[in-house]
Structure 1
Amino acid sequence: MISFYPGPSKTDENLDKYLSEAASSGILSCNHRSPSFMKLMKDCIKVIKQKLEIPSNYEVFFTSSATECWEITGQSFSKKSFLHIYNGAFGEKWFSYNSKINNAVEGLAYPIHRSISLHQLDRSGAKQKDVICLTSCETSNTTKVHQKTIRKVKNRYPNSLLFIDATSSMSGVSIDWISGDIWYASVQKCFGLPPGLAVMVCSPKAIDQADKNDFHYNSLKSIYQNTQKFQTTHTPNTLGIYLLYKSLSNKLGIKAEHEKIRKRMKNLIKQLKLLGYDFVVPTKKVQSETVIGIKCKAELLPIIKEKAKEKGITLGNGYGKWKLNSFRIANFPAHSDSDFEKLLIFLKSEDFNKKREN
């Protein structure tokens, strides 16, 4: 079964090999203060920085999930004022979650077919906010924030920290790391791994401005102090870190991965247009390169998904208000070109086309 679900999704093709190596290596029995674990963590951070081209002065941390990163960023910057910019469910959930932790939290919604408006940000008082939060790829509606837009936001408000949920983009597309202060992502999407681990990338400015007296579980202060020793604040997901190290070690650099993702999405959109499909996000500039949403009639959706399943293909559900009239297709590095050939053969199938016409 090929899973095009937008997370958890298809895993690295060598995952079974890495799992076997992890079990036989003895690393899974090592405590997280041992030299063996510290070497693994050091090696993993090194390969993450190398493959994703992260600046040497940025820190790489491990957490359990992107959702935990919501809590870390809220609790570790509790004296700051926040502005959350969002156009979809996950950005809004992050805003809602932070609102329950801190008092000085405001939200600004914008349409899915438009870029973030700097003029609208000015009117919302962004210049007075200590932290601006946005989602670089909104999995729920398959939009993205263009890297140039993120850079413009950073340049427009240089005194503010910029926090970015990159869950459906990190390790799949190139990131201009210095345009943000905290980036985070779970590994079950573009990293091609099972859930239970997340990567957080932090600038020196973010580390410096984090609450110094924050003693919450997994506060940024504690994470940073432990990472300097290549340790964690708690017993970590050692298997997840091992799999992340092995998987990234055997991957192309991020520029090559991004080019592969970009070309494949461009071809997929071209083929879908020829077949007469409409998209949840029709605007190219804000259409995600890693997840695409395809509109369909509500009565056809269960038929499409069931027929796909019969062909060994799992399609992603629509989300939110598009749940009953769309499906989503993930385009992650773990997917192969042959996976997409099989998908397109299915979408072009004669029986399916007849049902669409009816």
Structure 2
Amino acid sequence: MADPIRIPDDLKPVDGRFGSGPSKVRPEGVAALSRVATTFMGTSHRQRTVKDQVARLRAGIAQFFSAPDGYEVIISNGGTSAFWETAAFGLIRDKAQFAEFGEFGAKFAKAVRDAPFLAEPTVHKAPAGSAAYLTAEAGVDTYASVQNETSTGVAVPVQRVAGADPGALVLTDATSGGGSIDVDLTQTDVYYLAPQKAFGSDGGLWIALMSPAAIARAHEIKESGRYIPQFLDLVTAVEQSRLEQTYNTPALATVFLAAEQVDWMNAQGGLGWAAKRSAESAAAIYGWADRSEVASPFVTDPALRSHAVATIDFADSVDAAQLAKVLRANGIVDTEPYRKLGRNQLRIALYPTVDPADVEALTRCIDYVIHKS
């Protein structure tokens, strides 16, 4: 049996966490949480101790994304999957249109297709590794797309649909793109994300920046008499967020770690800084893959290559699954591809928590393992 491959320490990244979600949590955030463990953890989410942290997170998100006048930061439990159901109940009047080019856009479209009180949605599909786009369609009251497809590493601009019916809403899934890719929020009505990606926390929450039009739509639908489960009631989420709390008890550590992360990113320079840092990591991994004889970016169009999540294909001579195992044995973790994509590739998170120098080091480690295999 061959000896295990040991990567020299001087080649390794300082931090070997490259997971696309849950993602790297900064040690400084964990240390800050530890310092408030006896005064924050295990306390009522209706008390000021917790409300202050919810307020800090909401204010930090608004600052980070330069929220336009009237846009509100809404927080609730359940993660992005819960938000898809919340939107189906509380934002779509009747007919929606989707741009589907990966696993996560497909899940939202399915949730709407399965809702018996909504019309059959229009779905524009594109193969994995490419992008689909929204187009104006009479009768569509809600358009939905993904800014960054976590499963494939494809990113598209956030923009309104030219020629759409007056009052139509645009919903943008920013689960993995938010915080790593620049955005103009005036181009969307709901920009929703989860804190376990660029915002360096744990899962269990959804966070949405909502326009006045989106909030008005939520009230309109609720007042129409549609049945809405209390847990998925968007108006309730809005009202509770304005009180700096959630309807159900949130994971307090998640709230605190997300607030720590967004404060850290704002202190560095906000979204402009974060997007630039992620772009530097993207340049490192894609540049290496373009030069490699055995690796290549899965997304062939450079304009579509994500600055949040990179997917790298390997030639048949390289077993990417085994490569990921060797990396993991050497403390370089969570580089495995998205399971349902089924490709011979690695998937690398490029979120602002990841130091571009560590991405450079990762490429050296990959080369070393391939050479030694």
Residues 142 and 281, structure 1, Cα contact 8 Å, conserved in 2: yes
Q: Which residue of 2 aligns with 1:80?
A: 94
Does residue 212 in structure 1 map to residue 222 in structure 2? yes
Residues 113 and 120, structure 2, Cα contact 8 Å, conserved in 1: yes
* Residues 100 and 156 (structure 1), Cα distance of their counterparts in 2 relative to 1, 3 Å cut: closer
Q: Which residue of 1 aligns with 2:4?
A: none
Does residue 33 in structure 1 map to residue 46 in structure 2? yes
Does residue 22 in structure 1 map to residue 30 in structure 2? no
Does residue 168 in structure 1 map to residue 183 in structure 2? no
Q: Which amino acid aligns with 2:88?
A: G
Does residue 348 in structure 1 map to residue 367 in structure 2? yes
Residues 134 and 165, structure 1, Cα contact 8 Å, conserved in 2: yes
Residues 131 and 154, structure 2, Cα contact 8 Å, conserved in 1: no
Task: Tell me the distance in 1 between the aligned counterparts of 2:163 and 2:183.
Answer: 16
Alignment of 1:175-190 (within 5 A): 175-190=183-198
Q: Which amino acid aligns with 2:327?
A: A
Does residue 281 in structure 1 map to residue 295 in structure 2? no
Q: Which amino acid aligns with 2:276?
A: E
Q: Which residue of 2 aligns with 1:317?
A: 336
Q: Which residue of 1 aligns with 2:125?
A: 109
Residues 2 and 339, structure 1, Cα contact 8 Å, conserved in 2: yes
Residues 101 and 127, structure 2, Cα contact 8 Å, conserved in 1: yes
Q: Which amino acid aligns with 2:126?
A: Y
SS in 1 for 2:254: helix
* Residues 59 and 240 (structure 1), Cα distance of their counterparts in 2 relative to 1, 3 Å cut: same
After superposition, the CA RMSD in angstroms is 2.2
Aligned with 1:55 (options 68, 73, 90): 68
Runs of 4+ in structure 1 over 6 Å off: none
Residues 29 and 260, structure 2, Cα contact 8 Å, conserved in 1: no
Does residue 259 in structure 1 map to residue 276 in structure 2? yes
Query: Which blocks of at least 5 consecutive residues in structure 1 are unaligned?
Result: none
Task: Tell me the distance in 2 between the aligned counterparts of 1:11 and 1:219.
Answer: 30
Residues 146 and 285, structure 1, Cα contact 8 Å, conserved in 2: no
Shift of 1:113: 5.3
Q: Which amino acid aligns with 1:129?
A: V
Residues 312 and 347, structure 2, Cα contact 8 Å, conserved in 1: yes
Task: Tell me the distance in 2 between the aligned counterparts of 1:296 and 1:264.
Answer: 19
Q: Which residue of 1 aligns with 2:285?
A: 268
Identity of aligned residues (%): 22
Residues 218 and 233, structure 1, Cα contact 8 Å, conserved in 2: no
Q: Which residue of 2 aligns with 1:134?
A: 145
- Using the size of structure 1 for normalisation, the TM-score is 0.89
1:47-95 deviation digits (Å, cap 9, x = unpaired): 1111222224111112230111111101113532111111111111111
Task: Tell me the distance in 1 between the aligned counterparts of 2:210 and 2:133.
Answer: 25
Residues 146 and 286, structure 1, Cα contact 8 Å, conserved in 2: no
SS in 1 for 2:144: strand
Task: Tell me the distance in 2 between the aligned counterparts of 1:315 and 1:242.
Answer: 24
Residues 2 and 10, structure 1, Cα contact 8 Å, conserved in 2: no
SS in 2 for 1:167: coil
Q: Which amino acid aligns with 1:278?
A: S
1:11-45 deviation digits (Å, cap 9, x = unpaired): 12313212202313x12343232233333322221
Residues 142 and 292, structure 1, Cα contact 8 Å, conserved in 2: yes
Residues 315 and 327, structure 1, Cα contact 8 Å, conserved in 2: no
Q: Which residue of 2 aligns with 1:68?
A: 82
Shift of 1:257: 0.9
* Residues 324 and 115 (structure 1), Cα distance of their counterparts in 2 relative to 1, 3 Å cut: closer
Aligned with 2:242 (options 215, 218, 228): 228
Query: Which blocks of at least 5 consecutive residues in structure 2 are unaligned?
Result: 1-14
More helix by share: 1
Task: Tell me the distance in 1 between the aligned counterparts of 2:292 and 2:59.
Answer: 45
